[in-house]
Structure 1
Amino acid sequence: MANQLVFHNTHFDIVEHNHQIWLSAKQLAEAIGYKCVKSITNLYNQNSDEFTDGMSQVIESVTSGNYRKKVRIFSLRGAHLIAMFARTPVAKEFRRWVLDILDREVNNPASEPKANTTTDERTPLRDAVNLLVGKKSIMYDEAYRYIHQRFNISHIDELPKNKIPLAIEYIYRLALDCEQPPAHNNPTQPVILNGRILTEYKNGLVYIQEVLKDEVIVGTMDTFEWIQNRAGFVVVRKELLEQINLAFSRQSSRKLTAPHTATSAR
């Protein structure tokens, strides 16, 4: 974005609004050759139906005496349209000048600021980092440095929201030795998988990821029913029975019965 714009003797004080260049009505009047800002206001009022919000807006400006006042501003396209209605000797030259500025801005657009993620949005990522630190006995700084290198950021809050699931997956892969941590001058090399991750998605995003221990057996609803029919029982913690039956009910009318309950030391 241009830092300074000059047309003849008018040095514009650029108003940066919505990541675009805007010009004040007062300086626009001066540049086009009007003695009073009211001339610009009249041109706008007479043709307001041809302006969009992206061409002219009213904003609050703070003066040197900390006094707030409302001023009308124009984007470059809005300034060009005002100059189309103007009938001053320099209006035509001003229109060409504005188009040159527009061309320059289109070819060198201002970069959009990256939206930082919130602490709550990074909670699943912190959980993954905690797992990595515990399994690999490394410092937290080192664990986060892996993320910085992988996603080319200097601080964790610079990680875009849509990259958080990828970062979580990457950290779990490091924790399970599915991938080696980055080393200087050594590309990351994948290794043979020797662990399992149970992943739950909600609305297309990773909701929960849990590393399964070697002794944990994961089965389908049909498997649970087969075990119950064959052995006559299935040992399930009481607090989980309702969740399992809910999963059953989503598929059919099948249900695990609980004629007896027992508690065990945990």
Structure 2
Amino acid sequence: MRDLLNDLEAGKMLSDPDPVRRAQALARTPLPKRFYKAVSVEPLDDGFAVKLDGRPVRTPGKALLTLPAEAAARLVAAEFDAQTETIDPVKMPVLRLVNTAIDGVSADPQAVLEDIVRFASSDLLCYRADGPQGLVERQNDRWDPVLDWARSALGARFNLAEGVIHVEQPRETIAVLGAHLAQRADPFRLAALHVMTTLTGSALLALGVEAGALAPQEGWSAAHVDEDWQIEHWGQDAEAVARRTQRERDFMACVTLLGALKDSGRH
């Protein structure tokens, strides 16, 4: 399932889950010309459809692209409308996410839920550095509040470890997270949470941002504590900056879609 989701999210199904390599591959392939003039959103019995010159948009799997909330459909419509002479899928992160939800997640939402739970069983926030002291303190400062939220809001207590040696999490904690995610079985919400989890390496950060326990930018920054420490001491290269920028754009697209679903009453 994770391989399928990676392919779908990349748009192949777009070719490669790494945003920089994906952009490089697409750069070698001529982009399709923009063939439509007008973009619209129209209500249906079961949601809202995005249409180009009055014709419905379909996913790579040939399903009708229908969203459960008008605000969410308008996010996709805005991406189509923002295309100029050509259509660049790299610049349409919400569309890619929606395609993933419809073609992949909706077929087996339980498998996606379980994949997020597996991430939580070895969550980034549970593995702490044993030095230098500045990094240890920064991890504690950024990550402990999220673990405190998980304990108080969800009743999930996590064990911590130093280094990369695996630490087993309590069965009760994994069960609680599974039950929490089961309330978010909507394919669009699960797709967003799954992408956020894989981009950050932390289901807890994804769930914390979704719940409003921390701001989106705080969540993204918390996922890069170690990387930022390295950058401060050793610098960074242009390719790494580009990769992180594109991954952040994908992360924020997930947050935006979750917000549109929440505003519509779909939780």
TM bucket (normalised to shorter chain) is under 0.3
Task: Answer with 1 or 2: which has the greater Rg.
Answer: 1
Q: TM-score, normalised by structure 1?
A: 0.21
Counting helix residues as a fraction of each chain, which structure ranks higher? 2
More strand by share: 1
Larger RCO (alpha carbons 8 Å, 6+ apart): 2
